[in-house]
Amino acid sequence: MSKLRGYGYQNQDLTITKTFDIKEEIRIQLRADIFNLWNWHHFGTRFDTSINSPGFGTTWGASDPRFIQLGAKFVF
């Protein structure tokens, strides 16, 4: 069993919205959602700790990259 610890976890998401009036009772809302804003990578906590292994010190897996989601909504 390994005594190594994984990296700290950081995550920041951002949502930006803007609403525009088209007519008296009709509006459109534009929205941008950004997940993992700074594109920080979080590597897996499983390490190869066998000194005789050619992959010594390597880790498996990483977190998702930055995702951006755009949307529009009509409100009436």
Q: What is the pLDDT of residues 29-38, one digit of tens each?
A: 999 999 999 9
Percent of residues, the chain, with pLDDT higher than 90: 51
Nearest-CA neighbor of 6 among 41, 51, 38?
A: 41
* CA 14 distance to own-chain centroid: 10
Asked if pLDDT for residue 43 goes beyond 80, the answer is no
Average pLDDT over residues 62-71: 92
The 10s digit of each residue's pLDDT in 48-64 is 777 888 888 787 778 88
Please give the model's pTM, rounded to 2 decimal places.
0.69
Band of residue 6 on the pLDDT scale cut at 50, 70, 90: low
Instruction: Mark out the alpha helices in the chain (DSSP H runs).
Output: none
